[in-house]
């Protein structure tokens, strides 16, 4: 009998694909650079507590923080405890926290401080004996990309990035943005891969850690119901939306240099597109899934008429949830003449045999009526309806909507006869909600992703080729938009009128979540 090839060693008595049993990493440490930032406080530290509370961290797990603060271990533990209490999703347990806090260390220093990095390297080496981590460590770069070179060089100088020298595995976690265009992305990828092997680089896109995004693969490939109609023969169009009702908060310096297209389209939405359009992988392993996603991203086409099919906007003051909110240019630290877009919508094509001719409409924006992320497939109408026109005038397209957030689940919309003596067909919906169907609450995205880093499971982390293929889509848009003023829309509206006109030009309308 042939032996199935897998990417990980496994117990010969157990199917390597069996993930019903909890997966717990081997003894290890995680070092967070930028531990005092909002990401660490609101996401990373609570995620570690929740993982520990669920019994998914090894007993010998050490968490090290590195930042330019005059702190001791006690100050760091106090900060971490407050963050965990404020943002953790699981109930508080003193015994869990005490065990986690007992293995926390803080290393003070700046990124150009050789002594601080020497101290960090020594601490990790000592923990190999005192904590039994055997040289296993991951490094989370929760820092601006401009600081990557100096940090990576320090890690290379001290040997902390070297698996052989450390005597265990070493991995690095990189937060988005992965560059600001294709050229900078290639430079960044080259820099990281020169210090860490490509297999040891984990690029986090937190959307890929959401339960409903992963369920998209189960929906398609574990059921015979959907896959036969998941193609251009049956699908009329696909809409992928990430709407936010909030503004930019305290991120003005970052956001005004970035904009909606670079901040969301290049990573989150193109990754959702790739998962929606990919072919079935030959195995449910990281390399197979990444290969199929990469094929999609390389097949994405940008419309020739960018004036009609690439729309960007910027919110003005308006009313949202009964409150008057300021326009983007009135936000703190935003230049009065800023031309940065807070809304972006475009039509893309996927030139594969499965999807040729099907438009993919992507949109994202801030200060929209509500916060929602969803993937909506609209199916073609029946070619012949044996009904009078008046019988079906209120019947729309059949739709399958995958809700990524906040009401995680799915909706199937189809036509049904209205009760009564007359023949009248209207749209009705069937809903599936995670929170109502399953008793266990869905973990936060960072819980899943951080656990996968420690396990060495790269399934949900984009390769550098995926990042570069995504920038190849976005760069022409940014070149076209350069120097032009965005269209305006009031806060509380679903974007500029030009975005509605874009779909009307194709005989379609945006779905209103």
Q: So which residues are the catalytic ones?
A: 268
* Strand ranges, E, within 15-73: 28-33, 61-67
Q: Annotate 218-255 with b (16+ C-beta within 10 A) or e (fewer).
A: ebbbeeeeeeeebeeeebbbbbbbbbbbebbeeebeeb
Tell me how far apart the alpha carbons of residues 159 and 204 are, in angstroms, rounded to a whole number: 24
Beta-carbon contacts of 472 under 8 Å, excluding residues fewer than 6 positions away, are 182
226 three-state secondary structure: coil
Do the beta carbons of residue 427 and residue 152 sit within 8 Å? no
First-to-last C-alpha distance (Å) of the chain: 51
Supply the Cα-derived Rg of the chain in whole angstroms. Answer: 24
Do the beta carbons of residue 68 and residue 175 sit within 8 Å? no
Tell me how far apart the alpha carbons of residues 105 and 59 are, in angstroms, rounded to a whole number: 16
For the four alpha carbons of 412, 413, 416 and 420, in that order, the dihedral sign comes to positive
Phi, psi for residue 329 in degrees, rounded to 5 = -70, -10
Tell me how far apart the alpha carbons of residues 40 and 34 are, in angstroms, rounded to a whole number: 7
How far, in Å, are 276, 365, 443, 500 from residue 312 at the CA level? 24, 9, 34, 12
Beta-carbon contacts of 312 under 8 Å, excluding residues fewer than 6 positions away, are 259, 260, 261, 341, 343, 344, 345, 481, 486, 487
**DSSP state letter for 9:** -
DSSP output for 406-460: SS-EEEEEEEEEPSSSS--EEEEEEEEEHHHH-SSPPPPHHHHHHHHHHHT--TT
CB atoms < 10 A from the CB of 270, how many? 28
């Amino acid at each position: 009998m042939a032996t199935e090839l897998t990417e990980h060693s496994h117990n010969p008595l157990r199917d390597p694909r069996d993930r019903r049993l909890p997966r717990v990493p081997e003894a290890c440490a995680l070092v967070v650079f930028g531990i005092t930032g909002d990401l660490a406080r609101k996401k990373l530290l609570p995620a570690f507590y929740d993982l520990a509370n669920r019994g998914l961290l090894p007993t010998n797990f050490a968490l090290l923080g590195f930042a330019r603060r005059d702190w001791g271990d006690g100050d760091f533990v106090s900060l971490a405890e407050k963050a965990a209490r404020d943002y953790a999703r699981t109930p508080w347990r003193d015994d869990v926290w005490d065990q986690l806090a007992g293995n926390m260390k803080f290393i003070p220093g700046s990124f150009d401080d050789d002594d601080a990095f020497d101290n960090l390297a020594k601490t990790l080496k000592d923990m190999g004996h005192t904590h039994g981590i055997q040289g296993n460590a991951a490094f989370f770069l929760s820092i601006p990309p401009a600081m990557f070179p100096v940090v990576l060089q320090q890690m290379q100088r001290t040997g902390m990035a070297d698996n052989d020298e450390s005597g265990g595995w070493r991995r690095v976690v990189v937060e988005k943005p992965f560059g600001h265009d294709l050229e900078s992305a290639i430079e960044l990828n080259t820099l990281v891969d020169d210090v860490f092997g490509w297999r040891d680089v984990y690029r986090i896109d937190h959307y890929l850690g959401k339960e409903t995004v992963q369920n998209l693969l189960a929906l398609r490939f574990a059921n015979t119901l959907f896959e036969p109609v998941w193609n251009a023969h049956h699908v009329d169009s696909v809409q992928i939306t990430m709407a936010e009702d909030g503004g930019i908060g305290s991120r003005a310096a970052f956001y005004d240099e970035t904009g909606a297209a670079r901040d969301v389209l290049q990573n989150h939405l193109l990754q959702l597109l790739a998962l929606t359009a990919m072919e079935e992988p030959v195995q449910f392993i990281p390399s197979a899934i990444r290969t199929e996603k990469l094929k999609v991203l390389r097949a994405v086409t940008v419309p020739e008429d960018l004036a009609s099919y690439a729309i960007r906007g910027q919110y003005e003051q308006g009313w949202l949830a009964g409150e008057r909110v300021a326009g983007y240019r009135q936000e703190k630290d935003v230049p009065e003449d800023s031309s940065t877009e807070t809304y972006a919508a475009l039509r893309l094509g996927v030139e594969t045999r499965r999807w040729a001719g099907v438009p993919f409409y992507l949109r994202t924006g801030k200060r929209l009526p509500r916060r929602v992320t969803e993937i909506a497939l609209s199916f073609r109408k029946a070619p012949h309806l044996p009904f009078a026109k008046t019988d079906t005038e209120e019947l729309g397209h059949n739709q399958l909507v995958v809700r990524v957030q906040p009401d995680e689940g799915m909706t199937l919309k189809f036509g049904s006869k209205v009760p009564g003596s007359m023949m009248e067909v209207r749209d009705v919906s069937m809903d599936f909600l995670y929170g109502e169907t399953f008793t266990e609450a869905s973990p936060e995205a960072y819980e899943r992703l951080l656990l996968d880093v420690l396990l060495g499971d790269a399934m949900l982390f984009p390769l550098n080729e995926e990042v570069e293929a995504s920038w190849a889509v976005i760069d022409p848009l940014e070149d076209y938009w350069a120097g032009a003023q965005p269209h305006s829309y009031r806060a509380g509206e679903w974007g500029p009128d030009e975005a509605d006109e874009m779909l009307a030009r194709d005989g379609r309308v945006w779905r209103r979540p």
